[in-house]
Each structure stands twice: as structure tokens, then as C-alpha cells.
Amino acid sequence: MHTPRLCHPGTSRYPIPLSLREISPDPGFQPEHRIFAPDLATLTHPMFPAMTHALPWLHPDRAEKLETALDSRILLLDGAMGTMLQRHGLDESGYRGERFAHGCDAHHEHEHDASCTRDLKGNNDLLSLSRPEIIRDIHAAYLDAGADLVETNTFNATRASQSDYRMEDLVHELNVEGARLARAACAAAEKRDPARPRFAVGVLGPTSRTASISPDVNDPGFRNIDFQQLVDNYTEAVDGLIEGGADILMIETVFDTLNAKAALYAIDAEFRRRGGRLPLMVSGTITDRSGRTLSGQTPEAFHISLAHARPMSIGLNCALGAEELRPHVQALAAHADCRISTHPNAGLPNAFGEYEETPEHMARTLESFAAEGLLDIVGGCCGTTPEHIETIATAVRGHAPRAMRKDDAA
Ligand SMILES: [Zn+2]
Ligand SMILES: [Zn+2]
């Protein structure tokens, strides 16, 4: 049995509190303060009947295969779902499929009203229900290209994001089916090549709202979502992803650390409820060249804020292309004590919002990351395709994962 590599193993620097509320007795107590304070893994109070980090894996055989694979080579994450969907050029009826042909859900009896004819074009997550064959084919294309990990089509499968389409009631089903499709694609690939395990990564997106920043420049105190609403959003999503068979959970494209903390809080509660856990990946987004997230953190601060969750990996994705991301991945790798992931965009978008970095160029850059010992998991974000993943896979093949180098050095 492999011992999982954890961020900051060891004992807590905090005294063990008798109850959560005693940690922060001030009247301004906010639920999110709970996850700042104690190292929950060291608590033995009856309030914590199951320590999240002491819980067994929900899928022990898959978790062990994952650890073994990570110890032996750099694993490939897939590329963009959206870029592949664009190739299909789906129109409104293409998005609706049969089930949503009239704009509303034919599977649920209801009184039709004006909202039943809303536009669904652009709701990529809905395709898991309306056009599952397309999503299945995209997963298969990435697995054929050499991806070890495929991300579920659930980036916007939260109430906050689905409210744009008034499809909040589908959130649970979107997550279950999203995970099921990715897991089934992995199972099919494993059947063809049993020596090589593949993993379905249950994706939790950032939502379109920020808990720590006002969307109104004239009203800095205003928020369009709060911590508890985000916890509720993520609880529903996590429940669906686990039910659908996700092997890993990934909080992705984190631009606001407080949103990510809400996701971690929901995950923690869900693991306790189920009496088991899944490996966790956290991936942040640097939103400009100053090297900070939207909520203002450097990569080091980002790691410190989230290390209590002991993720299997921490990393960066999206926003900048690989080359621009290098110093920030270096900073993270120098700081973090868990595995490192990166899945950059195919360069910076041009004036038309298109990503132009070729597979060869991106692979050359990422190979130099690998040669430097920065990577355990690598893939692509916006603009990347199976051609990118295949070329990156070939480029990094000869390089050892970062985790093994650290062991060698010790
Ligand atoms: Zn209707
Ligand atoms: Zn992206």
C-alpha cells in the first residue's frame, strides 16, 4: 500500500479545540473561519467522528493505481472540452438534442411557459444529457491521444452557473452523468490496455461569481454570492460526481480562493458523510502577468491558503500560456510539498479570442518544465486538442516526475 504524499504532513500547530465555535468565539464568526483554524486531521473530538484524512479511499484499488502511476511517470491530463465542442459547430437544436428539443426538459412533466423556449446554445455541460455521444467521443479522443486523466464535462454544473439557463434543477444529474461518461470512457480504454489505468477527474469549476470580490466597482462591500451558497452549490455537485464514479475531484481554475475554500468545505463534509474520500487536485489561475490570482494571491499564498486540505496535487491552469506560466509554476513547485500539476492554455488568446499555440510549440515549452523537474501532472486548457496532448505526452515521456526527483535528492 502506498502512503499518499500529502501537503504538510505532521501535527497541527493549533491547540485542539473542544468545538469549532470555540476557535472563533467572536460575534463576527463566519462559517468559512472554520476551515482556517484547526488542522482537522489531528482532531479526536466526538464532533469529528471520522477524520477526513484518516478516512479510507472510496475506491482503494483505483487510488492505489493512481499513486503507483504518479510515482513512476508524469501523468497526462486531457485538453479542452470547449475547443473540441467548437469543432462540432453545434447550433441551438444541436445543443437541445431530443430531450430538450422544445427548450425545456421533456423528461420532467411541467406546465409549459415562456421560459420553456429559452436558448440552450453554449450550455456545454447540458450536452452530457442531450448529446452524450459527443462527450463520450471527446473523452475517447483524449484517451487515445495518451491522456491518463480525463476531466468530466461539469465545469459549469453548479446552480450558480446553470441559473444562466434556468437549468438549476439538472445540476445533480449533470454531475452524475458527467462523471459516468468520463468513467465509462476510462473503463473502455483500460479494457483495451489493462496495464495502463485511466482516471475520471470530477471537475468543480469556480462558478461565475466571486465570494471575496464585489462585481460592482462602486460598491466594494457588495457580493452576488456568499460562502454558504457556494458550499450548497458545491455539495450538490460533489455528491453527483462521486455518485457517477469520479476517481478524483479537481477544484479547477480557482481565481478566488474563498470560492475554492467553499468547495473544499463541501468536499470535506461529503467525504465525512460517505465515510470515504477521493484524491483531490486543486488548480488555480493566475489572471495577469503580475503573477497573482484574481483575489490577489501569489502562488505561494495560494498554496498556503489551501494546504490544510492536503490535496494530492496543487497546480495552475488556464489564463496564461505555458511560457508565461513558468515562473509561477516554479514558485509553486519550490513551495508546495505535494505533487504539482499544470495545464496551460494554448498560448494567450489573440484579438479574436482564439488560441494559436501549436502542439509542437507547447510541447517544447512543457518539456522544459519536465526537464526542470517541475511536473507530476501535465495537460492543456483552453485551445488545446488531442493533437496537443499527444505531442506533449511524447515530449515529456523521457522525464521523471517531480515527486520522484525529490525522493532521489533526499
Ligand atoms: Zn416546458
Ligand atoms: Zn482555460
Write the CATH number for 214. Answer: 3.20.20.330
Q: Which ligand is nearest to the CA of 102?
A: 1
For a pLDDT cut of 70, what percent of the chain falls above it? 86
pLDDT digits (tens, 9 = 90+) for 132-162: 999 999 999 999 999 999 999 999 999 999 9
The answer to whether residue 331 is domain-embedded is yes
> Ligand 1 centre and the CA of 103: distance in Å?
7
Asked if residues 344 and 363 have their Cβ atoms less than 8 Å apart, the reply is: no
For the segment 358-379, the average pLDDT, to the nearest whole number, is 97
pLDDT tens readout for residues 226-238: 999 999 999 999 9
**Cα of 83 to ligand 2 centre, how many Å?**
10
- Asked if the model's pLDDT at residue 406 lies above 70, the reply is no
Strands (E), 325-400: 339-345, 377-378
Q: Which three cell numbers stand for residue 87?
A: 469543432
Distance in Å, CA 92 to ligand 1 centroid: 16
Q: Check pLDDT > 90 for residue 26.
A: no
Least confident residue range of 28-32, 160-164, 250-254: 28-32
Note whether residue 92 is domain-resident. no
Domain count of the fold of the chain: 1
Cβ atoms 159, 168 nearer than 8 A: yes
Least confident range of 92-96, 160-164, 290-294, 307-311 = 290-294
Give every CB contact of residue 364 below 8 A, 6+ residues apart in sequence: 395
What is the CA 284 to chain-centroid distance, rounded?
9
Strand order in the sheet with 313-321: 75-76, 377-378, 339-345, 313-321, 280-284, 248-254, 199-204, 149-151
Four-residue CA torsion sign, 280, 191, 143, 407: positive
pLDDT value, residue 296: 86
Q: Which of 18-22, 315-319, 353-357 has the lowest mean pLDDT?
A: 18-22
- 27-41, 71-85, 259-273: lowest mean pLDDT where? 27-41
Q: How far apart are CA 140 and CA 133, in angstroms?
A: 10
Residue 17 has pLDDT above 50, yes or no: no
Q: How far apart are CA 206 and CA 216, in angstroms?
A: 19
pLDDT of residue 407: 53
Task: Give the residue-averaged pLDDT of 223-249.
Answer: 97
pLDDT higher than threshold 50 for residue 81 = yes
Residue 102 belongs to a domain: no
Proximal ligand: closest to the CA of 342: 2
Q: For residue 101, which ligand has an atom nearest its CA? A: 1
The pLDDT value given to residue 197: 98
pLDDT of residue 51: 59
To which residue does cell 484574481 refer? 294
What is the spatial distance between Cα 395 and Cα 406, in angstroms, rounded to a whole number?
21
| 115 falls within a domain | no
Residue 248 in any domain: the answer is yes
Average pLDDT, the chain: 87
325 and 372 in contact (C-beta within 8 Å)? no
CA of 144 to the centre of ligand 2 (A): 21
Cα separation, 13 vs 47, whole angstroms: 20
Percentage of the chain lying above the pLDDT 90 cut: 73
The answer to whether the CB of 343 falls within 8 A of the CB of 317 is yes
* 3 state SS of 116: helix
pLDDT of 305 reads: 92
- The answer, yes or no, to whether residue 262 has pLDDT greater than 90, is yes
Average pLDDT for 302-313: 93
pLDDT at 338 over 60: yes
Higher pLDDT pick, 113 / 2: 113
Q: What distance in angstroms lies between residue 235's CA and the mean position of ligand 2's atoms? A: 24
Provide the pLDDT confidence category of residue 349 given band limits of 50, 70 and 90.
confident
Q: What separation in Å is there between the alpha carbon of 108 and the centre of ligand 1?
A: 9
Is the model's pLDDT at 3 over the cut of 90? Answer: no
In a domain, 93, yes or no: no
**Cβ-contact 233, 159 below 8 angstroms:** yes
In this structure, is residue 389 part of a structural domain? yes
- Quote the pLDDT of residue 53: 77
In a domain, 289, yes or no: yes
The residue ranking higher by pLDDT, 178 or 20, is 178
Structural domain that includes position 345: 59-81+135-409
| pLDDT at 366 > cutoff 70 | yes
Q: Which residue has the cell 462602486?
A: 218
> Taking ligand 1, which is a single-atom ion, which protein residues have CB atoms under 5 Å away?
104, 112, 116
